[in-house]
């Protein structure tokens, strides 16, 4: 009974002590949680990954955002993630981060009212990017997916497909997205917006049948998945009908229909 009383007293004292700690839920503007900023931290992470032989996840898109509490004395602790489903889904990146974080030593506490305080840092753990990165992240080369026939040709086919679902003098607003996988195959096509479920299904089916090959996106020469998203606005007024065949593509290769 006495031992139970001591345990409860200890827990109460701990809770009182912890509640008195000043902890910010994020860093103030223009303050970074690592000496030298994000670029230096990333460079150190890359070197640790190479030195310790940490391997990327089978799913190249898997990443995890790890919350780290940086105390006023620059010591750290993990902030418990109560989303067990998220951890299970991203277990590989989570474990990767737990192996990596202990080797990072130059944490910087937040500062508020001229004094150091604890604050929570949100650290992105992306095993694929770290493993295949150049020593200096600024030297990394990323290429976007490329339609081999040229994006204007792809744009024309998309416009043709969507216009088949439009009646005269009718406006439609929506969006569509698709992924180009590592083999250059278009997949996971989704259509949203002012279309019936049947129209969305048919549009996605028609888009999947566009003929032509893609060069996949790449990161330092390593193919990877990339998802393209684009809003679609179709208006059939006089001005739009006159110009609708002359719509440009933006720099990321997304199709825009006005």
pLDDT tens, position by position, 190-219:
999 888 899 899 999 999 999 999 999 999
pLDDT of residue 241: 44
Distance CA 213, CA 215 (A): 7
pLDDT of residue 95: 97
CA dihedral 96→101→103→108, nearest 10 degrees, is 160
Contact 107, 74 (CB under 8 A): yes
pLDDT of residue 128: 97
User: What percentage of the chain has pLDDT greater than the value 90?
Assistant: 66
pLDDT of residue 213: 94
pLDDT of residue 163: 79
If residue 76 lies in a helix (H) or strand (E), which one and from where to where? strand 76-78
Where the chain has pLDDT below 70, the residues are 1-21, 166-170, 234-258
pLDDT of residue 171: 73
Burial 153-184 (b: 16+ CB within 10 A, else e): ebbbbbbebbeebeeeeeebebebebbbbeeb
């Amino acid at each position: 009974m006495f031992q139970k009383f001591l345990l409860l007293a200890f827990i109460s004292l701990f809770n009182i002590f912890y509640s008195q700690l000043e902890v910010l839920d994020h860093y103030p503007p223009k303050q970074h949680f690592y000496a030298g900023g994000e670029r230096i931290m990333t460079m150190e992470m890359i070197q640790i990954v190479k030195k310790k032989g940490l391997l990327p996840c089978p799913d190249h898109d898997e990443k995890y955002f790890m919350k780290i509490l940086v105390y006023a004395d620059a010591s750290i602790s993990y902030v418990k993630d109560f989303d067990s489903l998220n951890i299970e889904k991203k277990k590989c990146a989570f474990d990767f981060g737990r192996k990596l974080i202990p080797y990072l030593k130059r944490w910087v506490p937040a500062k508020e009212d001229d004094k150091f305080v604890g604050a929570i840092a949100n650290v992105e753990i992306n095993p694929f990017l770290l493993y295949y990165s150049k020593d200096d992240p600024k030297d990394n080369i990323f290429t976007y997916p490329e339609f081999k026939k040229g994006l204007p040709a792809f744009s024309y086919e998309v416009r043709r497909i969507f216009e088949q679902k439009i009646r005269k003098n009718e406006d439609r607003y929506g969006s569509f997205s698709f992924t180009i996988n590592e083999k250059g195959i278009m997949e996971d096509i989704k259509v949203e917006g002012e279309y019936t479920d049947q129209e969305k299904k048919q549009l996605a089916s028609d888009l999947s049948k566009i003929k032509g090959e893609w060069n996949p996106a790449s990161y330092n020469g390593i193919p990877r998945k990339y998802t393209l998203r684009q809003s679609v606005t179709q208006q059939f007024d006089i001005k739009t009908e006159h110009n609708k065949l002359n719509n440009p593509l933006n720099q990321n290769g997304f199709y825009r229909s006005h």
